[in-house]
Structure 1
Amino acid sequence: MTQKLILVLNCGSSSLKGAVLDNDSGDVLLSCLAEKLGLPDAYITFKANGEKHKVELTANPDHTGAVGAMLEELKARGLESQIAAIGHRVVSGGEVYSESILITEEVIAGIEKCIPLAPLHNPANLLGIRAAQDIFKGLPNVAVFDTAFHQSIPEHAYTYAVPREYYRKFGLRRYGFHGTSYRFVADEAARFLGKDKNSLRMVIAHLGNGASISAVANGVCQDTSMGLTPLEGLVMGTRSGDVDPSIFSFLAENANMSIAQVTDMLNKKSGLLGISELSSDCRTIEEEAAKGHEGAKLALEVFVYRLAKYIGSMAVAAGGLDTLVFTGGIGENSDLIRSKVIGYLGFLGLTEDAAANTAARFGNAGVITTADSRAQALVIPTNEELMIAHDTARLSGL
């Protein structure tokens, strides 16, 4: 084990996820999840070696308190002195940042300028950065942006068909998210296949409670499904994905809903949850669909159909299709959804290998199409934390 460990932090508005990684081996020595931050009953749960324990944060129930509790846990385990740098997931770098960067006051100012593009996420990310700087004094901090990988998207792909003045004044355009995952998976898929990433035309589907899809060709992103916010694109756990923008005026007139209420509904009450009227969890949806639940069956079919349509469109962006990659919690574990999606894609040269598809679950990578398929589909587990750790180590000179 290296003596230089990387602490990776991912801060939400009321939560904090953390992990201590050995950058060389990729091993996670300690992980944590702080919840209810900002409330009197905030707490943090630590996990190591398969065991968990919970620490109340009543004395300091905020992000600084959570990071401080992490420091105490590291001290108790004799790991404090081995932390060499801290990597932070930052949701939006807008057009300012196209790659990860060592954090300075100038970078913090740049992240603050991007707050209008991610008003719920960037302020929380900044709280984590400030807390880490305060608690782990003197250690280098690195920002790794969800949007950075997508900055290679050409202008015709990121431009909305609205008056250009809104782009010039407010940066209104498509940005995309899940970029750290896509970067890791694109590299891993090429390595797994023993091919040069720059020669592969890939479509990568990152499927979880939040879901998106990207086209990668010539080694870089050519297009992606999420847009100005993570709401655009695929059907997700609670997000609607693509809808007619006139839904806002329609619901305002017919349901007396405000813009804020419609936005909240599209983000938190739609997707699999909204269609099924049952759950946002894909596992529950699959189980209940198998039992004949009509809402669950419809939610599953809408999810799969929208995904298959997007794969076809991303094949256009990639200039063809050599490799379709499934990743994320659903993409890695749902052989049913993968099977249904591939069933739509015979015209792209994909034929499912049912046995291989069933075997490629629970962290197992693998090709899930037959040997005579013109294009390949495969499952590659993502590891955003390891990607953040690698960037942090490199930029910190470790």
Structure 2
Amino acid sequence: MNPTSDGRHGATASVLVINAGSSSVKYQLVDPVGGEAMASGIVEKIGSSEGSVTHKVAGGKTQRTVDVPDHGAALRVVLDLFSEQGPSLEDANVVAVGHRVVQGGSLFSGPVVIDDAVVEDIRGLIPLAPLHNPGHVRGIEVARALFPDVPHVAVFDTAFFQTLPEAAYTYAIDAEVAREHGVRRYGFHGTSHEYVSQEVARVLDRPLEDLNTIVLHLGNGASASAVRGGVAVETSMGLTPLEGLVMGTRSGDIDPAIVFHLHRNAGMSIDEIDDLLNKRSGILGLAGDNDFRTLHELVEAGHEGARLALDVYVHRLKKYIGSYLAVLGRVDVIAFTAGVGENDEIVRRLVMRGLTDLGIEIDEVVNDVRSPEARTISPEGTKVRVMIVPTNEELAIARQSLELVGQQG
């Protein structure tokens, strides 16, 4: 059911979207029909007496230092700010609370209304996402207690990639070990990849099932996907978000034996190597800073590490684009999204350079123009259309939540 046709909830229906991490809670009050964020914010440093909260609403922003010993206190702070600063949650007609959950394993191929059994399933997936799912569970439990009269919906980062062919999600390791420990490619950023591939079809006014799209979600975390007719057939992230593209602080693809080498010869523990590959690698590890604005300034100043970091980043992207061209056989659109993808004209220009013989190029003048709108940056008549499509994961979660609640009602 299209959420715009949900007569039961009416045009004023809203969804409160919550993304609870280990030490933070991000939130957004969304009008799923109009697409507007009515309010948004973040509570940080949960577990501290000197936490912080930022609450944004039309016409103003409130920032405070707060005592947030746990997720319950954090969400109560959020409720207080809605009461004090607006908008009123009662007047907003909140019909669902949508929760972002990073890891849904093989259990969840779409959004689900949360009950006790779903919470236990998400808890059971903690070994696959020890940094993310514990915070999600705590956030869900507290939110269900604070909002007992509306349905809660879990939307999973991994769900969109449950359509991957077996050949794409299977790692070539001992099959019994893989089955016992859930080792396979899950993929992440799925809510963004799904939203962007659908937006491409909407903006171009073409049937989704007719389009083959490569989506490049380039933020501090980065991932690529190959989407055939709206169905994901390949993605770069794997068992965890560490695999794939070079990222802000993550290495992306490496020889797995590097782990053994560092353990045996550098005396590094598994936890130290985990920290190295997830938090001290990528652009940060090569250039000393993972902010792309600073990276480009360093390149201009002649910093060799920054130049190499940018070259490695672009090279990896080109490799994935080429492999996805082969997987799809025909590509209609390459869509850039997320912070770097939407805002960094230098990265887009470098990634697309040299691909003319594949029918891929950009209009550099159009590429350099900043705009919040989805748009085409390739010349008219090129074989592959190159686009910038802003992502909106909160809106996607809100719409999936409202649609599911409408179906359940």
Shift in alpha-carbon separation, 1:302–1:3, aligned structure 2, 3 A:
same
**Where do 1:10-159 residues align within 5 Å?**
10-58=19-67, 60-76=68-84, 77=86, 79-81=88-90, 82-159=93-170
Aligned to 1:273: 284
Aligned to 2:347: 337
Aligned-partner SS, 1:45:
strand
Aligned to 1:293: 303
Match of 2:379 among 351, 370, 385: 370
Aligned to 1:185: 196
Rounded Cα–Cα distance in structure 1 between residues aligned with 2:354 and 2:316: 11
**What's the CA shift string for 1:328-372, capped at 9, x where partnerless?**
10000011110111114223211221111112x342321111123
**Cα drift, residue 50 of structure 1:** 4.6
**Cα drift, residue 78 of structure 1:** 5.2
8 Å contact kept, 1:9–1:88: yes
Amino acid at match of 2:177: Y
Amino acid at match of 1:108: V
**Cα drift, residue 290 of structure 1:** 1.8
Amino acid at match of 1:115: I
**What's the CA shift string for 1:291-311, capped at 9, x where partnerless?**
211111111111011001101
**Count, aligned residues:** 395
Aligned to 2:230: 219
Amino acid at match of 1:319: G
Matched, 1:356 2:366: yes
8 Å contact kept, 1:41–1:61: no
**Cα drift, residue 71 of structure 1:** 1.4
Amino acid at match of 2:122: I
**Cα drift, residue 64 of structure 1:** 1.0
8 Å contact kept, 2:345–2:368: yes
Aligned-partner SS, 1:41:
strand
Aligned to 1:304: 314
8 Å contact kept, 2:57–2:87: no
Rounded Cα–Cα distance in structure 1 between residues aligned with 2:120 and 2:354: 46
**Cα drift, residue 282 of structure 1:** 1.4
- What are structure 1's unaligned runs of at least 5 residues? none
Rounded Cα–Cα distance in structure 2 between residues aligned with 1:56 and 1:86: 26
Aligned-partner SS, 1:279:
coil
Shift in alpha-carbon separation, 1:227–1:171, aligned structure 2, 3 A:
same
Rounded Cα–Cα distance in structure 2 between residues aligned with 1:295 and 1:392: 44
Shift in alpha-carbon separation, 1:230–1:78, aligned structure 2, 3 A:
closer
Rounded Cα–Cα distance in structure 1 between residues aligned with 2:151 and 2:204: 35
Aligned-partner SS, 1:216:
strand
**Cα drift, residue 99 of structure 1:** 0.3
Amino acid at match of 1:147: T
Rounded Cα–Cα distance in structure 1 between residues aligned with 2:81 and 2:314: 43
Rounded Cα–Cα distance in structure 1 between residues aligned with 2:142 and 2:396: 22
Match of 2:292 among 282, 297, 305: 282
Q: Which stretch has the larger CA shift, 181-190 or 365-374? A: 365-374
C-alpha RMSD of the superposition: 1.4
Rounded Cα–Cα distance in structure 1 between residues aligned with 2:59 and 2:309: 35
Rounded Cα–Cα distance in structure 1 between residues aligned with 2:195 and 2:346: 24
Rounded Cα–Cα distance in structure 2 between residues aligned with 1:152 and 1:78: 39
**Cα drift, residue 315 of structure 1:** 1.5
Amino acid at match of 1:233: G
Q: Which stretch has the larger CA shift, 361-370 or 328-337? A: 361-370
- What are structure 2's unaligned runs of at least 5 residues? 1-9
Aligned-partner SS, 1:280:
coil
Rounded Cα–Cα distance in structure 2 between residues aligned with 1:50 and 1:259: 48
Amino acid at match of 2:44: E
**Cα drift, residue 65 of structure 1:** 1.1
8 Å contact kept, 1:308–1:344: no
